[in-house]
């Protein structure tokens, strides 16, 4: 069975600074990995995903994430934070041989300060 | 416009009074799923459906029922709601598998007193 751990429930970054959100997972088979973003009073939107192939994945709004199998990690980064990046971010994992079940992390709330 | 529609957006009810939260998608997606979101716990999967008449339990199915009689609809039923089911609920759908992105509804905030 898979599980997801997001380090830090709240992260504060200055506008223009690096955004780094950490995600570690456990999975007994090759995983599918996702980052979703949730803006206030809305559902979740997909930022990016890893299924197979290139381990550095680029998503929308300047975000990217790198799948590191040896570290069982899928950290999300953005070089320069913008005020509009303030939101809650969720890492999620699905096991490729039992699709249907999707497990989310607890979420990281990002605050961007001027 | 492609979307997942949940109704109602807000619902306050009392313990034991049966309720249904509807979910409909207009994208001809095969896969649909229900989640509940609670502070500090992220989203937890309640039930999912891979196609019409095919449903399966997620991580927290107790106290919930679902049905998938038509491809577009996936209602969530609480036969006897309890206060611990107070939560924010999301319905989501995707084309065929979880390698495809999930499309989420805007959520239903349920309060059970």
Least confident of A21-35, A53-67, B19-33: A21-35
Is the CB of residue B61 less than 8 Å away from at least one CB of chain A?
Answer: no
Give CA–CA dist B10/B111, Å, rounded.
8
What mean pLDDT is predicted for residues A74-91? 96
pLDDT at A96 over 70: no
| Residue-by-residue pLDDT tens, chain B, 113 positions | 889 999 999 999 999 999 999 999 999 999 999 999 998 899 999 999 999 999 999 989 999 999 999 999 999 999 999 999 999 999 999 987 777 788 999 999 999 99
Is the CB of residue A44 less than 8 Å away from at least one CB of chain B?
Answer: yes
Answer whether B43 sits within 8 Å of A94, measured CB to CB. Answer: no
Q: A27 vs A107, which has greater pLDDT?
A: A107
User: pLDDT class for A99, splitting at 50, 70, 90?
Assistant: low
Residue A100's pLDDT is: 74
pLDDT at A22 over 70: yes
Tell me the shortest Cα–Cα distance from B61 to chain A, in angstroms. Answer: 12
Residue A106's pLDDT is: 94
All residues at 6 or more sequence positions from B51 whose CB lies less than 8 Å from its CB, including other chains:
B30, B31, B68, B71
What mean pLDDT is predicted for residues A48-70? 93
Smallest CA-to-CA distance from B93 within B42, B44, B49, B37 is with B49
Smallest CA-to-CA distance from A6 within A101, A97, A88, A112 is with A88
All residues at 6 or more sequence positions from A53 whose CB lies less than 8 Å from its CB, including other chains:
none
Query: In the sheet that B76-78 helps form, which strands lie side by side, from edge to edge?
Result: B4-7, B19-25, B76-78, B65-66
All residues at 6 or more sequence positions from B74 whose CB lies less than 8 Å from its CB, including other chains:
B23, B24, B25, B32, B33, B34, B49, B66, B67, B68, B91, B93
Residue A97's pLDDT is: 62
Q: Using the CB atoms, write b or e for A36-58: b if 16+ within 10 Å.
A: bbbeeeebbbbbbbbbeeeeebe
Which spans in B14-96 are helix H?
Answer: none
For B49, which residue in chain A has the nearest alpha carbon? A100
What mean pLDDT is predicted for residues A102-114? 93
For B94, which residue in chain A has the nearest alpha carbon? A100
Answer whether B106 sits within 8 Å of A41, measured CB to CB. Answer: yes
What mean pLDDT is predicted for residues A9-31? 92
Q: A98 vs A73, which has greater pLDDT?
A: A73
């Amino acid at each position: 069975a898979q599980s997801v751990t997001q380090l830090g429930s709240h992260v504060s970054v200055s506008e223009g600074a690096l955004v780094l959100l950490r995600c570690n997972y456990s999975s007994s088979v090759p995983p599918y990995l996702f980052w979703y973003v949730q803006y206030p009073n809305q559902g979740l939107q997909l930022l990016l995903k890893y299924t197979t192939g290139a381990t550095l994945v680029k998503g929308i709004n300047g975000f990217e994430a790198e799948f590191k199998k040896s570290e069982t990690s899928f950290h999300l980064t953005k070089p320069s934070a913008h005020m509009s990046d303030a939101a809650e971010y969720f890492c999620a994992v699905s096991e490729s041989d039992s699709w249907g079940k999707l497990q989310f992390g607890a979420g990281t709330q990002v605050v961007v300060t001027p | 416009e492609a979307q997942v529609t949940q109704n109602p957006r807000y619902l306050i009810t009392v313990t034991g009074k049966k309720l249904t939260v509807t979910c409909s998608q207009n994208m001809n997606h095969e896969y649909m799923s229900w989640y509940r979101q609670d502070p500090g716990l992220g989203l937890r999967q309640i039930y999912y459906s891979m196609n019409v008449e095919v449903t399966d339990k997620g991580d927290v199915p107790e106290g919930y029922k679902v049905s998938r009689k038509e491809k577009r609809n996936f209602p969530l039923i609480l036969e006897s709601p309890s206060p611990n089911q107070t939560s924010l609920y999301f319905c989501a759908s995707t084309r065929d598998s979880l390698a495809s992105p999930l499309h989420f509804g805007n959520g239903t905030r349920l309060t059970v007193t």
